[in-house]
Amino acid sequence: MAVLFPRYTYTSSSSLGCEVSPSSWHRKPNRKPGVTSAIPPCTAAPMGVSSNVLDVVSDDVLGLVLDELKTLDFPSVCASRLVCKALNGLAESRAFGSTLIDLSAGVKHTAFQIESMASGNGPNSRWTKELRIRNLVPEEERGTLLDAQDRYLIQALESLRKLRSVELNLRKSYPYLAILSALSNLPHLKDLNLYIDLGFEDTPLPLDQFSNLRSLILRSFPLHQPIIEILNRTIRNSQNTLECLDIRPHDWEEEDGPYDSDQETEETPDPSEVRRLLRILERPRTVTLGTFTSDEEGCLSFPKLEELQVNGDRIEFTIASVPLFKSLVCLAIVNAKVLRVEDGFWDALAETKVQLQILEMYPLTSGVVKYLLSYTGLHELILNAPPSDSFGASDGSSVSDSDIPRSIFKDVLPHHCDAIHHVSISEYLDVKDYGCTEENIEGLLTCKKLEELDLLYHYPVEDEEMQNCTSIGLALLFRITDNLPKLKRLQLAPACSMSPYGENSYNVGMNIAYRFADRLCNIDFREGLRFPPFRLYNYGFLRYGSLVYEPKRGCYAMESE
């Protein structure tokens, strides 16, 4: 899966209750076994040694070292602040540039840290630009952490005068009104990422106090009219500044309604529960994109909007929303079992000269293919089918045209071959149409600038007959490695015609991954390339490590943990 909004993602550095306080600097880092700190415990380092290093190595080089160390062994970056004043000046901004507030019960030092942060004199106030707020203390609980939250949390937020981005889980049991008010008054806040609890459907949620945002991510909210209206006003407040917009309503509700026949009872239902269920039934299953981006006069124009991501299972695209796309370069329609797009939408995009550089969606239609052939310059094509599609979606609407897979490989990819550098085929697509066949590989090999490639293949399961499917052969694999000179990452996903919900599905899936990985690790790639320049991933193996090429053996091997 590609990262569609790289400028607005978050990486945690300092953490209240984990890595901010000096008393917690020497905790064992959460890292892979065998990876050691690049800087030994700095409290034991002689001052003279540090001074000599600082005299010889420039600040720019030391900064690069600290940036790399931050990803491998963050506590050592914190500890390096103790070496000397000069090194502290370089390390402090990296240690406190990103902060996580987590008031989970049992986390040590949290009350002290949030009090220190609230003073406005600590390093968080000087350096924190990115903030994540998780797991606050519900109002009904009592104790030291709740007292610290009540006394210091808002002051701590107000002290972050350089804060630019925040990620926040909104729950009714949290002091959300005060939190939102404090955040909205921070002068440099530009990126707002909200997960909205379903409990807000009948509770005022004053998000429209935020304005002039650069990135707005709204997830998990109910499609309830008061929520829709406040989100509409919030989006409109940043109409002229938004560059990234992510709208993903809650999608766990079944189309048939919230009732479960297995839980029927003769007891008199609770009136509040009845009201809740009625509200769910009254919610629309889908809404148009214009519901969030229009006023009384119609769809608004967002002159700087470049990236849009939506839940395709809940949001419909209409021709009326085309003005929203004038500056768009990246469109992601996720979680769509049925593509809810009005006829003529893609033609309207082509007529207005909208030329997407990144397109992530599924299912594809002939209209999408026609649109992609209307221009050149596509950089990334990601086919992100949801899990049900590879096991036969009941509605049958996932595949609108049997010629579309052939058109993607034969027409679309060669048409964009001079620009495209990332192609991803979901492991949930039909291996007969999207798998590693001679014809499909031929289209991929026209894209000489490919750097990332995710492919689907069939690998046979023991004691299971699978007809009309094609395994990836060694010759095909060598064609990929020999003819894509800029490839940096190759991920191969095994396809299996079995239900993902069966009792033994996990074991069968892992069996496929292990068997295929074992086969890959016994292939001598010196028969093809002298040195494959890419990292090889076997889907299902990602959590255990990737396959890394060993030049001396000429083979891939599992990366050690």
Tens-place pLDDT, residues 59-72: 788 888 887 777 76
Taking Cα atoms as reference points, which of 67, 64, 116, 63 lies closest to residue 86? 63
- Highest average pLDDT, of 62-76, 209-223, 241-255, comes from 209-223
Taking Cα atoms as reference points, which of 520, 529, 527 lies closest to residue 556? 520
* Residue 95: per-residue pLDDT: 87
* Residue 537: per-residue pLDDT: 76
pLDDT digits (tens, 9 = 90+) for 290-329: 999 988 777 788 999 999 999 988 999 999 999 888 999 9
For 216, the token pair is 């707005």
* Residue 267: per-residue pLDDT: 62
- Backbone angle region of 323, left / alpha / beta, with phi > 0 → left and psi within -120 to 50 → alpha: alpha
Q: Judging by DSSP bridges, how do beta strands 315-316 and 330-334 pair with one another?
A: unpaired
Give the sign of the dihedral formed by CA 383, CA 315, CA 134, CA 210: positive
The pair phi, psi for residue 296, each rounded to 5°, is -65, -25
Residue 472 CB contacts under 8 Å (≥ 6 apart), including other chains: 435, 436, 455, 457, 458, 459, 492
* Residue 282: per-residue pLDDT: 63
pLDDT digits (tens, 9 = 90+) for 379-422: 999 999 877 544 333 333 344 467 899 999 999 999 999 999 99
* Residue 160: per-residue pLDDT: 96
Give the max Cα distance, the chain: 81
- State how far the Cα of 514 lies from the Cα of 505, in Å rounded to an integer: 14
* Residue 277: per-residue pLDDT: 65
Among residues of the chain, what percentage have pLDDT more than 90? 36
Quick check: 555 pLDDT over 50? yes
Across the range 252-262, mean pLDDT stands at 44
pLDDT digits (tens, 9 = 90+) for 439-494: 999 999 999 999 999 988 776 655 454 444 456 666 787 788 788 989 988 888 77
- State how far the Cα of 28 lies from the Cα of 11, in Å rounded to an integer: 19
* Residue 142 buriedness (CB in 10 A; 0-12 / 13-18 / 19+): exposed
The pTM of the full predicted model, rounded to 2 decimals, is 0.77
Higher pLDDT, 223 or 536: 223
Quick check: 345 pLDDT over 90? yes
Using an 8 Å Cβ cutoff, are 90 and 67 in contact?
no
Q: What's the distance, CA 80 to chain centroid?
A: 31
- State how far the Cα of 329 lies from the Cα of 357, in Å rounded to an integer: 5
Across the range 66-91, mean pLDDT stands at 78
Across the range 500-504, mean pLDDT stands at 52
Residue 242 CB contacts under 8 Å (≥ 6 apart), including other chains: 213, 214, 215, 216, 235, 302, 304, 305
* Residue 223: per-residue pLDDT: 87
* Residue 106: per-residue pLDDT: 58
Using an 8 Å Cβ cutoff, are 384 and 360 in contact?
yes
The pair phi, psi for residue 40, each rounded to 5°, is -65, 165
Peptide bond into 22 cis (omega under 30): no
* Residue 550: per-residue pLDDT: 82
Taking Cα atoms as reference points, which of 29, 39, 120, 125 lies closest to residue 81? 39
- State how far the Cα of 274 lies from the Cα of 280, in Å rounded to an integer: 10
Q: Fill in the amino acid letter for 59.
A: D
Using an 8 Å Cβ cutoff, are 139 and 104 in contact?
no
- Total Cβ atoms within 10 A of residue 226: 14
HEC states along 67-80?
Answer: HHHHHHCHHHHHHH
Using an 8 Å Cβ cutoff, are 98 and 128 in contact?
yes
* Residue 424: per-residue pLDDT: 94
Under the banding of pLDDT at 50, 70 and 90, the label for residue 2 is: very low
